[in-house]
Amino acid sequence: MPGIVCAIRGGPSSRPTIDRSITLAQETSEIIYFLYVVNLDFLSRTASSRVQAISQEMHQMGEFILLSAQKAAEAADVKAEGIVRHGKVGPEITNLCHELSATYLVLGLPEARGEENAFNLEMIQQFREEIEEATGTRVIFTQEPAE
């Protein structure tokens, strides 16, 4: 099932990533698999008994985000599916690319907001290399990381 995996977080910052995957799908006639990963690692430091409820709520939010992305693809005459996974973002992206034998992976870059981002340039480049080596999937960023 080759295609285009497009990992999104939701919100306005995902728009360029969605748009880039749609353009790529129009150019290649491949299906887009929009991916949303529910990661509850931030809850590991809490003693919340609501983890299961929070997980379900985030899953439902992910489904809503994916439906919006799928509608944008449909409006552009592109076939798309939505997939929600639970776990760590990097491994889930890698696993899906491997499972689908994806041709492309489209990723956005974290926005610089003055504070330190979770990913720096070195980590982003390393992630690209790991994905490409492990899966054979070509990684495309919405814009190339600035040196």
Q: Which residue did the predictor score with more confidence, 52 or 118?
A: 52
Lowest mean pLDDT among 2-11, 21-30, 49-58: 49-58
Decide if 2 contacts 30 (C-beta within 8 A).
Answer: yes
- Per the DSSP assignment, residues forming a β-bridge with 52 are none
Q: What is the pLDDT of residue 103?
A: 97
pLDDT band per the 50, 70, 90 thresholds, residue 95: very high
The class that CATH gives domain 4-141 is alpha beta
Q: Which residues of 47-72 are buried (b: 16+ CB within 10 A; e: fewer)?
A: eeeeeeeeeeebeeebeebbeebbeb
* Mean pLDDT confidence for 21-34: 97
Instruction: Tell me: pLDDT of 18 over 50.
Output: yes
Instruction: Tell me: pLDDT of 47 over 60.
Output: no
Instruction: Tell me: pLDDT of 55 over 50.
Output: yes
Number of residues that make up the chain? 147
Q: Which residue did the predictor score with more confidence, 11 or 105?
A: 105
Q: Strand 32-38: give its sheet, edge to edge.
A: 80-86, 32-38, 4-7, 104-107, 138-141
Best CA proximity match to 4, nearest among 88, 111, 110, 76: 76
Q: How much is the mean pLDDT over the chain?
A: 86
- How far apart, in whole angstroms, are the C-alpha atoms of residue 95 and residue 112? 28
Task: State the pTM of this model.
Answer: 0.86
Q: Which two tokens stand for residue 115?
A: 């504070």
